[in-house]
Structure 1
């Protein structure tokens, strides 16, 4: 099961006072106090919703940076969290960046994640180690395709979230429509805890429905935070939305339900405790609003992070005890316990490998020895730092619940470290399969930097794969999208001085069957001395997906089943039969792409006392599979992408016409004032060069994002064309 559901990173359940008391009893009072004032949060959203801009303001108001800079780097400096030159040039986040800040007596570890689907692994591994998250939405676009992906990732790791509707200064801003989208599209129990004072270019501040006050930002950078009484003209809307908040909370919290039934209004303290309880129990998401770019209402967002998101003691983290047959163990979030930490992200820094570590239990000290559970290697921690984007600050030790980084430790992403006394392993994270490949070759003479760069990128990014094609001897790189691979090619040129030439993008086709077929194959070879003999009988059939719609592995994995009885095939040859089946899956007979979704059932066979061998049965099974495959109505599957496009209404006809031309199926369209959104399923093979076409069709005003949805059978004429092209290519090699 890919989705790590049997062993989630957090299994957040309601934490009773008794549990809380028992858990705090294990730590000393100073440590408990430190943990109560610690938050680990991620900032996630669709592309261009303002994540990095928001993080920039958070750093400014918490005093971590002295001045605010522009995300696109137009001021020559660029945002603090986008430290890579490429990020500043393109105005996008490519790598998630970690920092920490203080707000009042509280410390906050923050990870700013990319919004682009091509860098989805960055969001995945950040949410794997965080206790809470801020989901940012645009006040005009609302819930978009990548918002849905981020929501799925938050649910996968049981991460409580608060939602922040950003860009309230934009024309067409409508926060209450976005709250409805959170309820309808993401199926969340959500309610606004603020209402805006003015909107679009008149946006001035927010009314807090919990504290019943109005907040304004004054000063050049919004640093003066002013509290006033609620304006008279907003009283009816504020009262209405407060009632809506009480109703939504009453659905998920018993205490508020009692107050609601008695037709009373909760006190500020009752409100805050109920919102915190429901948010941590994953039953509710409070919705805040503001404009990070216009420096408005970011301070209340920081207050909400402290008020409503959990501290490390309120999150249940589970590890697997390797000594005890991988039994789940609940970790204790205190510094006086034996050390357990997870390496969740790697970077090649100026001083060697930089490994980001989340400490779940115990203390990590500079100069101490830690053990990599996977390899059993004992390693000394030479240098320990806290990250502040690209800057780092040396520290002597980090306690439980903290996020830091170590230098000079050789490990892979996802490795668990302990102090050597425990054999615990943290559960792994979900890594999506690549959907697109490119042939890559260095311009001119190949230098050692070419393979050095590829090795480093593979180690850092689990979704970036490299292999050498056995026949063409070309180096093939695979990833999550065109932009993903472009960025790596560009980084090779900048960071390693290796200019590369890329071939035409290759789509990750798959081959499968649509009906069962029997096989009865005998492999024999006699050439003097001991020969080869192996006979296999059985059938192949398509794998039927599980009931769970997320059960992608069931649908795509191929399975081998042994039903041979009576010893017709000696048991020591069965693994060789399975290897033969796996050999056949590697390269399909139709177009040479991998085969998926097939179950091979071995029912009978025969062996020879002298001539049978593992090799004979391996060859027999592979040939039997190829023979049966041809009889089982084989088909080619192609990746279908979920494409989300946003453009001005006047270009709607041109955009939908363009999608039809690319064999797209429109799933949903929505018009919002002068913009429209369309969601369509389009084959990836037909999406190449779409960005240029969309720009020219919409005068540069349209934007789109896409993510992998599933593999579907190609149309018959496409299949015939693909097979013909493959045969011509194979004939040309001979």
Structure 2
């Protein structure tokens, strides 16, 4: 029987936000409070590992934003915490969306000055699609921002989710002194510290104690007492069942950069956040406490270590117990593989592991066997659901600037698109390579990585393409007829699936009317074996 205690002690979650809301800072402080790092700043300086810094991470430094999901794990008390820090920039939203399939819950960071922003809404919609439990951390309370009641109302109205505050701010902006822990009914006041944890200067269980006046102004204490009374009357009490169903979001306030509110968030999170439970496969529901091992690849990253040109597949364990050196079944390839050096990402270091449990995210060195969405089991042919591939919004033709580097360019663009950084469409005649992305910044990253990791240079020529849709039909003849009649507007993706490249909305609607027997799909799930597209 699988060790149930190993499952219960694991908390696997993603931190998501609109850019600049303080997501990476909060990640750092959770690692700091969890004892995984000693000084804040390590996450920003060494995104994934400390010993080898990749050129790709140079892009992050230059831009000052995250462009790839980082995996960090640490032990806190008797809990095993797995943090997936995701990109906030909309150009890399696909990486974030895929990461959300590999977690059991989410912490959503909101800037108290700006409130709910565009990317916040999109991320919340993805969470709602899977009923993912969400905790909200309202950050930057040390700045003059929106009224806290207005922010709470904004969250409920725009994000369409009920909220219940589990901490409450003491002041705001220049008068911000910390937070009151409603969930545990205690007050811990800390001195601001941007790099290390400071000792609390007061710990009290009762807001009526007279000693509070030694640390807080009387008007602030009275205002806090009134606020707590109002909060308990206005907002529904915390309900674990509603939170686990994704219907109720506990709300925390703080200033991650000053360490305010982080300890309260972490302590409450490990108590209420769900442990691994189940994942949906095409064939059946897979439960975490099953004896046999299952897992799926949700991310691939090439050249984490430029010196070794490694390629790592990130695998979320869904059930059973993963063991080093054991043979496992690759569902798509229909063959068995053995992994000699599986990796665990402990904060900013990579370590070889002997075993791992449901909820863990491990790295597998890959020589080209894996694609995003692949399933690994002990023999059962499973195909997990929900790994999305979105229709790109920007399309450009890739042009080789150095004919002598054609092989390197071919290899590079194949590997980068297999990571999910962009989508590759091949158009005939001429084997034209069309790259589709959701943002301009991705082309810059692709160009940079092709040159520095593969020694290939290219240009990107804009194309008049409005939308890519995957085309399926009941018969192969219908697809062939469509491909011949619209040959100038069709291509094949990496899996040889037929894709229609519409120049505008009218073109798309007209084509759908002309070919009513065809189905046009705006998104594609990367479950190639079960895909209904007729090739």
TM-score by length of 2: 0.82
Deviation at 1:486, TM superposition (A): 1.4
* 1:372-383 matches, cutoff 5 A: 372-383=330-341
Contact 1:56 1:80 (8 Å CA) reproduced: no
Deviation at 1:181, TM superposition (A): 1.0
Deviation at 1:450, TM superposition (A): 1.4
Match of 1:332 in 2: 287
Deviation at 1:81, TM superposition (A): 7.9
Q: Does 1:211 pair with 2:184?
A: yes
Match of 1:46 in 2: 18
* 1:35-74 matches, cutoff 5 A: 35-69=7-41
CA distance in 1, matches of 2:395, 2:149: 42
CA distance in 2, matches of 1:146, 1:170: 21
Q: Identify unmatched segments of 5+ residues in structure 1.
A: 1-26, 251-273, 322-328, 512-555, 562-573, 604-620, 622-638, 640-734
CA distance in 2, matches of 1:157, 1:592: 30
Q: Does 1:33 pair with 2:19?
A: no
Match of 1:286 in 2: 250
Q: Does 1:358 pair with 2:337?
A: no
Secondary structure, aligned partner of 1:383 = coil
* 1:277-316 matches, cutoff 5 A: 277-312=241-276, 315-316=277-278
Deviation at 1:426, TM superposition (A): 1.0
Greater RCO (CA < 8 Å, at least 6 residues apart):
2
Contact 1:103 1:302 (8 Å CA) reproduced: no
Deviation at 1:578, TM superposition (A): 4.5
Contact 1:191 1:245 (8 Å CA) reproduced: no
* 1:438-477 matches, cutoff 5 A: 438-447=396-405, 448-461=407-420, 463-467=422-426, 470=429, 475-477=433-435
* Structure 1 pair 70–37 and aligned structure 2 pair: CA distance change class (3 A): closer
Q: Does 1:249 pair with 2:236?
A: yes
Q: Identify unmatched segments of 5+ residues in structure 2.
A: 213-217, 491-500, 523-535
Deviation at 1:78, TM superposition (A): 6.0
Deviation at 1:158, TM superposition (A): 1.8
Deviation at 1:402, TM superposition (A): 1.8
CA distance in 1, matches of 2:415, 2:384: 24
* 1:628-643 matches, cutoff 5 A: none
Secondary structure, aligned partner of 1:286 = strand
Deviation at 1:289, TM superposition (A): 1.0
CA distance in 1, matches of 2:39, 2:516: 69
Deviation at 1:483, TM superposition (A): 0.9
CA distance in 2, matches of 1:483, 1:310: 35
CA distance in 2, matches of 1:207, 1:498: 55
Contact 1:193 1:245 (8 Å CA) reproduced: no
Secondary structure, aligned partner of 2:84 = strand
* Structure 1 pair 39–242 and aligned structure 2 pair: CA distance change class (3 A): farther
CA distance in 1, matches of 2:171, 2:516: 71
CA distance in 2, matches of 1:158, 1:205: 31
Deviation at 1:559, TM superposition (A): 7.6
CA distance in 2, matches of 1:80, 1:202: 36
Deviation at 1:390, TM superposition (A): 5.9
Contact 1:133 1:162 (8 Å CA) reproduced: yes
Match of 2:436 in 1: 478
Aligned-pair Cα RMSD in Å: 3.0
CA distance in 1, matches of 2:46, 2:421: 28
CA distance in 2, matches of 1:509, 1:185: 29
CA deviation map 1:371-398 (0-9, x unaligned) = 1112211111121111146631111011
* 1:173-212 matches, cutoff 5 A: 173-212=146-185
* Structure 1 pair 487–174 and aligned structure 2 pair: CA distance change class (3 A): farther
CA deviation map 1:249-283 (0-9, x unaligned) = 26xxxxxxxxxxxxxxxxxxxxxxx4333211222
CA distance in 2, matches of 1:277, 1:234: 33
CA distance in 1, matches of 2:516, 2:286: 44
CA distance in 2, matches of 1:486, 1:467: 21
Q: Which of these two proteins has the greater Rg computed from alpha carbons?
A: 1
Q: Which moved more, 1:154-163 or 1:437-446?
A: 437-446
CA distance in 2, matches of 1:362, 1:49: 37
Match of 1:317 in 2: 279
Secondary structure, aligned partner of 1:224 = coil
* Structure 1 pair 295–588 and aligned structure 2 pair: CA distance change class (3 A): same
CA distance in 1, matches of 2:153, 2:94: 29
Equivalent position to 1:228, from 203, 207, 215: 203
Secondary structure, aligned partner of 2:370 = coil
Match of 1:645 in 2: none
Contact 1:414 1:429 (8 Å CA) reproduced: yes
Match of 1:110 in 2: 83
Match of 2:295 in 1: 341
Number of residue-to-residue matches in the alignment: 480
CA distance in 2, matches of 1:452, 1:560: 32
CA distance in 1, matches of 2:515, 2:455: 52
Q: Which moved more, 1:424-433 or 1:461-470?
A: 461-470
* Structure 1 pair 602–136 and aligned structure 2 pair: CA distance change class (3 A): closer
* Structure 1 pair 125–105 and aligned structure 2 pair: CA distance change class (3 A): same
Q: Which moved more, 1:82-91 or 1:125-134?
A: 82-91
Contact 1:192 1:241 (8 Å CA) reproduced: no
* Structure 1 pair 246–105 and aligned structure 2 pair: CA distance change class (3 A): farther
Match of 2:528 in 1: none
CA deviation map 1:221-271 (0-9, x unaligned) = 351352534455334544444543465326xxxxxxxxxxxxxxxxxxxxx
Contact 1:78 1:88 (8 Å CA) reproduced: no
CA distance in 2, matches of 1:331, 1:559: 29
Match of 1:508 in 2: 465
Match of 2:381 in 1: 423
Contact 2:39 2:196 (8 Å CA) reproduced: no
Contact 2:314 2:363 (8 Å CA) reproduced: yes
Match of 2:493 in 1: none
CA distance in 1, matches of 2:455, 2:16: 33
Deviation at 1:587, TM superposition (A): 3.3
Equivalent position to 2:484, from 576, 580, 583: 583
* Structure 1 pair 63–121 and aligned structure 2 pair: CA distance change class (3 A): same
CA deviation map 1:146-188 (0-9, x unaligned) = 0011001111222101000111122335333221111111111
